[in-house]
Amino acid sequence: MPKWAMAIDLDKCTGCGDCMAACKLENNVAIVDAEQAADDRVMLWMDMMTIYEGEYPNIKLKRIPKPCFHCDNPPCIKVCPVHATYKNEEGLVAQIYNRCIGCRYCMAACPYTAKVFNWYEPEWADEFKTCMNPDVSLRMKGVVEKCSFCAHRLQKVKENARADDREISDGEYSPACADSCPAEAIFFGDLENKESKVFKLSNSPRAFRELEDLGTIPKVFYLSEKE
């Protein structure tokens, strides 16, 4: 079974925010209005963390794109009361929107604050409804959602591979953020495939994972030169 993982090269990432926009567009993530935004209810599957280090004027500013980490030992699925979030056999942590009762326990339990909640029924202008991505289902009010590693793309890639009777090649399945990154800082692939770029990067001395000591075993690796 493949084990999908992502590697984000922070040395290359400029923090341009393209991944965030690509993600919102690809996954039909709801856009909240100004009032909701002021209440901190913006829904970002791909978030951007900003960390300042050092004393003025020798400041280092780090911008870190933060998707769901699809942990191998996810704290979120352990607390879900209704099997609405689970880890599938390929290691993707998935949400079942139609089953979620909206208790938000998984959000409280996620150490990475990767999940977002539909506080209201998501709304779009009629015109915008025309250009929704038909591959991704829309969410309803009162359910939790999060980055899916664009699992709908995997579905398509699998179908194509099966039709051609071959294995999925490295780089064939890639989520919108990795696909669109102008700095080519986001890599995606199969950790089980020893030839894949992601496998190599994950073993690089530059690689680290967020909050590793929690034992969540995230499948998103960050690469950064330790200075």
Q: Which helix (H) or strand (E) holds 201?
A: helix 197-202
Report the distance separating Cα 37 and Cα 15, nearest Å.
Answer: 21
Residues between 52 and 71 with contacts to another protein, criterion CB under 8 A: 52, 54-59, 61-64, 66
Structure tokens at 76: 């979120």
Closest distance to another protein from the beta carbon of 49 (Å): 4
DSSP string, 42-91: ---SSEEEEEEESSTTS-EEEEEEE-----SS-HHHHH-SSS-EEE-TTS
Whole-angstrom distance, CA of residue 171 vs CA of residue 45: 21
Binding residues for another protein, how many (CB under 8 A)?
Answer: 108
- What are the beta bridge partners of residue 223? 9, 207
Nearer to another protein, 28 or 196 (CB): 28
> Cβ 143 to another protein, closest distance in Å?
6
Using CB under 8 A as the binding rule, the residues of this chain from 21 to 50 that contact another protein are 21-22, 24-26, 31-34, 36-42, 44, 47-50
CA distances from residue 167 to 65, 107, 150, 182 in whole angstroms, order as listed: 30, 35, 19, 28
Q: Segment near another protein (CB under 8 A), from 102-110, 166-174, 195-203?
A: 102-110
Q: Please report how close the Cβ of residue 3 comes to another protein at its closest, in angstroms.
A: 17
Smallest gap, in angstroms, from Cβ of residue 118 to another protein?
7
User: Least CB distance from residue 135 to another protein, whole Å?
Assistant: 6
State the Cα–Cα distance between residues 80 and 59, nearest whole angstrom.
41
Q: How far is the CB of 95 from another protein (least distance, A)?
A: 13
Site map for another protein, 108-147, x if CB under 8 A? xx-xxx--xxxxxx---xxxx-xxxxxxxx--xxxxx---
Query: Quick one: 152 or 192, whose CB is closer to another protein?
Result: 152
Strand-pairing partners, residue 181, are none
CA of 16: how far to CAs of 21, 69, 170, 180, in Å? 10, 20, 26, 11
C-beta of residue 196 within 8 angstroms of C-beta of residue 210: no
Q: Which of residues 193-212 bind another protein (CB under 8 A)?
A: 210-211
> Least distance (Å) from another protein to the CB of residue 190?
21
> Which x/- pattern, by CB under 8 A, does the window 149-188 give for another protein?
---x--x---xx-xx------------x--xxxxxxx---
Among residues 66 and 70, whose Cβ is nearest to another protein?
66
Q: Which of 90, 94, 103, 193 binds another protein (CB under 8 A)?
A: 103
Amino acid at residue number 202: S
